[in-house]
Structure 1
């Protein structure tokens, strides 16, 4: 699996080949010390991120929940047309 991933196999293709979830594949790769490529958010994750953000959750909390980076969530929210709050939330002036 490691050799396949490092040769460019996609996570979805590995999921299908090995009958594992994306989370399972990524966990196994991390356990083997593989440097993972940036993982795009799924459409379900994007919808969840939008709902969480619109309900007042900070981007950092959303990123933690989705096991991704702050910037990955922020960039995707912007791409989806979500109006971002000022940094610091309601405390920003």
Structure 2
């Protein structure tokens, strides 16, 4: 790979392009793009974990008092997946082992 091509990769990455996008754009492997960036002293961003949106009814089920484990079972998710999806949806999680305090929310 030429020096100019390597500099291009570094500039595009630093402008926000992902390694995956650069690999697709240039026809290089993910590994080759990554190694080139590192060889030119580029500090790599930490990988962003994409959390899918909650399916319809999931937030309401939790806010009505269901445990994360019950929500996970209902939506065929792992406990961690359900917890992360709820957190990223802006839900305030209850402390572990606690039932919903007070009256359930409307719509329960």
Taking structure 2 as the reference length, the TM-score comes to 0.43
Q: Which structure carries more helix by proportion?
A: 1
| Bigger Rg, which one | 2
Taking structure 1 as the reference length, the TM-score comes to 0.50
Higher relative contact order at CA 8 Å, sep ≥6: structure 1 or structure 2? 2
